[in-house]
Amino acid sequence: MMEQNLLDGKVKKMENMQALFSRSDIISLHVPAIEATRGMINNETLPYFKDGAILLNFARGELIDSDALLAALESGKLSQYISDFPTPGMIGKPGVFSTPHLGASTAEAEENCAMMVADQIIDFLENGNIHNSVNFPNLILERSDSGYRLALSNKNVPRILSSVLSILADRNINVIDMLNKSREDIAYNLIDIGSEPTDDLVNDILAIEGVINVHVFN
């Protein structure tokens, strides 16, 4: 929670929401809709607002208790509510200014998303890094200047990674760097090694119970 002092350009951290609300003429919400924030603007928090305050909500509609908000507008506690999450009960109400929720559908956003997807796919194909996957963990490991990379996916059960490392140790293969993450039933590993992996090495790793796939990056 921040209060912007326009006179000296400094940003001050407030001790709690109530202190912020009571000192702000315009309040803009920028939080996710999680258990702790749903309905955070309600009959308990609205009385702390300055009379005639303006509330901006371009975060999530679930942050607002609609009945409490409309009552605050009718009483003059709020002078305006501006949001891109219109609801049937708010449309046309005095003090409510609603716009369509189209931020991700602008030409600029569509172009940026397309470029982001292409960059992330390239990074996966070239380095095995995973960004924003639906069913795999996010895992990004910078490549070293030398060596080879193994990308290993497996069931999220104990001792698989230790078995892989034992195979590498038995072949006297040095591990330069590695990263392991899991998501529900799936684990994903990036292992940078100092020696070129052979087909026999890959087959030995694939033979470990629970290993799903192994891919080699030069």
CATH number for the domain spanning 86: value is 3.40.50.720
Which residues, at least 6 apart from 206, have a Cβ–Cβ distance to it below 8 Å?
A: 213, 214
Question: Do 69 and 149 share a structural domain?
Answer: no
Question: Do 132 and 63 share a structural domain?
Answer: no
Which pLDDT score is estimated for 4?
44
Looking only at the bridges linking them, the beta strands covering 148-155 and 186-193 are antiparallel
pLDDT, mean over the chain: 92
Residue 5, pLDDT above cutoff 70: no
- What's the predicted TM-score (pTM) here? 0.60
Count up the domains in the chain and report the number: 2
Mind listing the pLDDT tens digit for each residue in 101-153? 887 788 888 899 999 999 999 999 999 999 999 999 999 999 988 889 999 99
Which pLDDT score is estimated for 1?
42
Looking only at the bridges linking them, the beta strands covering 211-217 and 186-193 are unpaired
What's the farthest any 2 CA atoms get from each other in the chain? 77
CATH number for the domain spanning 171: value is 3.30.70.260
- Cβ atoms of 191 and 152 within 8 Å: the answer is yes
Q: What are phi and psi of 173, to 5 degrees?
A: -100, 125
pLDDT band at residue 8 using 50, 70 and 90 as cut-offs: low
Residue 195, pLDDT above cutoff 90: yes
| 24: containing domain | 2-101
Which pLDDT score is estimated for 2?
43
The residue with tokens 């397309």 is 114
Helix (H) or strand (E) holding 95: none
